[in-house]
Structure 1
Amino acid sequence: MDRDRDEELLRGRVYGTDHDDPRPGPRPGRVYAELVGGPLDGLLLDITGRAPGDAGAAAVLPTELGAFGAGGRAVYEPRPGDPGRYDWSADTP
């Protein structure tokens, strides 16, 4: 795996889109937060329709790019005062 190449491919993409999706970027009418740091840095997370009580909840996202490889997850916490960014806090198995 070439980390530099992988990171470049992820920039500006929405988390969960397929690598060969012809439209991997944001879509009109959706709300996104940028993932900052960690293995998913630069991806956009679709937070459309999150319940108000869930607005401060962490996002635990499956990824093969984190410290635990296949089956691992990356944990992102909403940035206080900036709902448009989620900061990486940990990788988990």
Structure 2
Amino acid sequence: MDEWMRVRVYGTDHDDPDPGPRQGRDYVELVGGPLDGLLLDVTARSPGERAEGAALLTEIGSFGPGGRTWYGPAPGDGTRWQWQGDAP
């Protein structure tokens, strides 16, 4: 977890003085695509919701502001979600 203390959590403000993970929360690392390297807080997601992945809002995906980017669990790795593509 020490290495995660230097990364930013998806959804934190760009000027947040402490954009890293919080103790007692569960995170997955986003791999590939426009949100590569960010952590996503999955604490409140059920196992079923975690298995489905998520469409996350981003301004830096293929569809610009208001677009979404899809991430889902990496096969055999419960700590990473892989980029699956962008959507309007």
TM-score between both structures, scaled by the size of structure 2:
0.89
User: How many residue pairs align between the two structures?
Assistant: 83
Q: Answer yes or no: is 1:44 the counterpart of 2:39.
A: yes
Counterpart for residue 22 of structure 1? 17
Question: Mind listing any 5+ residue stretches in structure 2 that lack a counterpart?
Answer: 1-5
Structure 2 counterparts to residues 1-93 of structure 1, below 5 A: 12-93=7-88
Q: CA deviation at 1:12?
A: 1.2
Distance 2:57 2:10 in 1: 10
- Identity among equivalent positions (%) equals 65
Distance 2:29 2:11 in 1: 13
What stretches of structure 1 move > 4 A for 4+ residues in a row?
Answer: none
Q: CA deviation at 1:55?
A: 2.4
Question: Mind listing any 5+ residue stretches in structure 1 that lack a counterpart?
Answer: 1-10
Equivalent residue of 2:48, what SS? Answer: helix
RMSD value over aligned CA atoms?
Answer: 1.1
